[in-house]
Amino acid sequence: MNETRHPLRLPGTAVLSALAMLFLYVPIIVLVVLSFNASDMTTIWTGFSLHWYAQALGNDTMLIAIGNSLTVAAAATILATAAATSAALGIARSGGRVRTAVEGLLGLPLLIPEIVTAVALLMLFVLVGVRLGLMSVILAHTVFCIPFAYYPIRSRLAALDPALGEAASDLYAPAWRRFMRIELPLLAPGIFAGALLAFISSLGDFVITYFVAGPGATTLPVYIYGMIRTGITPEVNALSTLLLLASVVVVAIVFRSGTTPANQTRGDKNS
């Protein structure tokens, strides 16, 4: 009988995997290294320097863009996490068909191309008379951040023992007290992970922001794009490195907290 071979043991698979990893991460490493380049020539290394980081952090226009990005990301994270938590609790108590339909709708922003979502939101804002600015960006980011916040919360909720809520009901605890004393503390790791994922997704978004942002609502990714159009300098590399660092820190916190869906699923199997 022929033994099924593991895919990673097929000839050439390891080499192709290594090439794919190099293709993905070598450009990022080069970008980070060149952000410390002393020369104003982006691709020619002349020496180590922090000049471009100092210049970037001393750029008032760039600091305004960072402030806009943080404002939008914080507001969208709060709104999206609250909506995702409510949706997870409501779907958990609904029937099978309703649950499947609603979860499918919540996952659509992850499947629809961002350019389609951006054009649709722009048309919606124009039709209903929403002025393009920070508010329109916050509303748009809230929409596509909900799935990022929802799935960690939903995964955490699925791991909870329903007997805990039933015991509280048997003790005549009202619904709000049951939620505040039992469900919310147990859901906190999932809510935390979902909020962090929503925050970093909002912080790094470009396509949707570019379409729905108005005057005075330039975020950091849009600002970096504007700099690239006029010519690439190591300052762009420094800004990109700072944005990359923020993303890595947030993702590391999520994995460190052990609240990723994969970790929660693994914990369910072990319990």
Q: What CATH number corresponds to the domain at position 77?
A: 1.10.3720.10
- Structure token pair of residue 189: 């790791």
Contact, 65 vs 220, CB < 8 A? yes
Lowest-pLDDT range of 18-22, 101-105, 201-205: 101-105
Show the domain range for 228: 51-270
Stretch 9-27: mean pLDDT: 82
Stretch 164-191: mean pLDDT: 73
pLDDT digits (tens, 9 = 90+) for 239-263: 888 888 887 887 787 677 655 444 5
Please give the pLDDT value at position 4.
Answer: 56
pLDDT digits (tens, 9 = 90+) for 39-88: 777 677 778 888 888 888 888 888 898 889 999 999 999 999 999 988 88
Position 209 in a domain? yes
Position 108 in a domain? yes
Please give the pLDDT value at position 261.
Answer: 45
- Confidence at 24, pLDDT banded by 50, 70, 90: confident
Is the pLDDT score of 140 beyond 80? yes
DSSP H helix total and E strand total for the chain: 13, 0
Is the pLDDT score of 109 beyond 50? yes
Position 236 in a domain? yes
Stretch 11-25: mean pLDDT: 83
Residue 199: Cβ-neighbour burial (10 angstroms; 0-12, 13-18, 19+): buried
Position 208 in a domain? yes
Lowest-pLDDT range of 8-22, 26-40, 113-127, 209-223: 8-22
- Structure token pair of residue 88: 């997870």
Q: Which of 10-14, 58-62, 97-101 has the highest mean pLDDT?
A: 58-62
Contact, 189 vs 156, CB < 8 A? yes
Contact, 80 vs 198, CB < 8 A? yes
Please give the pLDDT value at position 8.
Answer: 54
Contact, 201 vs 144, CB < 8 A? yes
Lowest-pLDDT range of 6-15, 38-47, 198-207: 6-15
Number of domains in the chain: 1
**Which residue type does 202 have?**
S
Please give the pLDDT value at position 137.
Answer: 93
What pTM, to 2 d.p., does this model score?
A: 0.76
Position 40 in a domain? no
Tell me 181's DSSP state: I
Residues 6+ apart with CB under 8 A from 35: 52, 53, 234, 237, 238, 240, 241
Please give the pLDDT value at position 262.
Answer: 44
Position 207 in a domain? yes
Position 20 in a domain? no
Beta bridge partners of 80: none
Position 34 in a domain? no
CA–CA gap between residue 156 and residue 190 (Å, rounded)? 5
Query: How many C-beta atoms surround the C-beta of residue 114 within 10 A?
Result: 16
Q: Could you tell me which of 169, 4, 142 has the C-alpha nearest to residue 83?
A: 142
